[in-house]
Amino acid sequence: MTAYPVLSDKHALEEGTVLAPRFDAGGLVTCVTTDAASGELLMVAHMNAEALQRSVETGEAWYWSRSRQELWHKGATSGQIQTIVEMRVDCDQDAIWLKVKVAGDGGCCHTGRHSCFYRVKPLREAAAAPLAFAAE
Amino acid sequence: MTAYPVLSDKHALEEGTVLAPRFDAGGLVTCVTTDAASGELLMVAHMNAEALQRSVETGEAWYWSRSRQELWHKGATSGQIQTIVEMRVDCDQDAIWLKVKVAGDGGCCHTGRHSCFYRVKPLREAAAAPLAFAAE
């Protein structure tokens, strides 16, 4: 596996064309995954260097499962393979954005829902109200 | 400040109506912020309990700046205040999603761009190609 470079120069990190992910102390970057067609936020997960490299090379989403402590080819067991339509990186290169097309039944969340973000938190004067389940 | 509850029961955490964020060892949860109108991913940041509570109570986005190690009322100096249109939490409650309307010039990224995710990483057979700047 090719190691990703480390850029200490802020301008190169933010304005350059070299992918130099800033992995945290645990060797991970945050990955935000949205539905390429609807734009809906599906999930937030993490990638280590190998998961990122496999995602780039295969065009399918690979993550690092923190709970299982193993590489995770999303959909390998569920059939909900995520084909990456576009990958982006943020300004300081500690977050990745995947726009994906989901195979199988189109789901993403292990609870069986389309997106992991199925509950709404009321705000302001309703701040004390409980979470509300959003319509699927 | 009211402390958020800790739920050790997986079913209560995932299917309940109690907001019980799973802060990491550093006391933070990941926050994904999208444009409420366009759906575009604007930024990924972090919240500690106080930033989350202020966001809920004021309806404006507050984060925890890891670089400055301080509470961060987004837009306080730039004018790019983020009014929260909807807040959601994910299945295992370690990530928050804000859909926001941005004030001021509508920008978000400290580099002056609308979104922090302005660079695209080529995939598959083009995997070795450099990052490409996306059109604004």
Q: Is A118 on the interface with B (CB under 8 A)?
A: yes
Please name the member of A16, A17, A123 whose beta carbon is closest to the beta carbon of B56.
A123
Reduced to 3 states, what is the DSSP secondary structure of residue A80?
A: coil
Q: Which residue range(s) make up the domain with A29?
A: 10-133
Determine the distance in angstroms separating the CA of B21 from the nearest CA of chain A, rounded to an integer: 12
Per-residue pLDDT tens digits for B113-135: 999 999 999 999 999 999 999 98
Tell me the pTM.
0.96
Residue A21: HSE in the Cβ half-sphere, 13 Å Cα cutoff: 27
Give the residue from chain B lying closest to A90, CA to CA.
B117
Q: pLDDT digit string (tens) for B43-98?
A: 999 999 999 999 999 999 999 999 999 999 999 999 999 999 999 999 999 999 99
Q: Please say whether the dihedral angle defined by the alpha carbons of residues B96, A74, A54 and A59, taken in this order, is positive or negative.
A: negative
Query: What's the CATH code of the domain at A78?
Result: 3.10.20.810
Q: Is residue A128 part of a domain?
A: yes
* Cβ contact A30–B39 (<8 Å): no
Task: Give the HSE-up count for residue B85: Cα atoms under 13 Å, Cβ half-sphere.
Answer: 12
Domain count, chain A: 1
CB nearest to B124's CB, from A59, A88, A97: A59
Q: Quick check: is A1 in a domain?
A: no
Range B29-37 average pLDDT: 97
- A5 within a domain of the structure (yes/no): no
* Conformational region of residue B2, where left means phi above 0, alpha means psi within -120 to 50, and beta covers everything else: beta
Q: Is residue B4 part of a domain?
A: no
**CA distance linking residue B91 with residue A107, whole number of Å:** 14
Q: Which residues on chain A are in Cβ contact (under 8 Å) with B44?
A: 30, 32, 90, 94-95
| B130 in A contact zone (CB under 8 Å) | yes
Name the residue with tokens 């933070």: B28
Asked if residue B19 belongs to a domain, the reply is yes
CB-CB under 8 Å, A117 with B90: yes
Q: Is residue B108 part of a domain?
A: yes
Q: H-helix or E-strand containing B87?
A: strand B82-89
What does the pLDDT read at residue A136? 77
Q: Is residue B2 part of a domain?
A: no
Q: Would the CB atoms of A59 and B132 count as touching at under 8 Å?
A: no
Distance from C-alpha of A43 to C-alpha of A104, rounded to nearest angstrom: 17
Q: Is A51 within a domain?
A: yes
| pLDDT above 70: residue B1 | no
Among A97, A43, A96, CA closest to A74 = A43
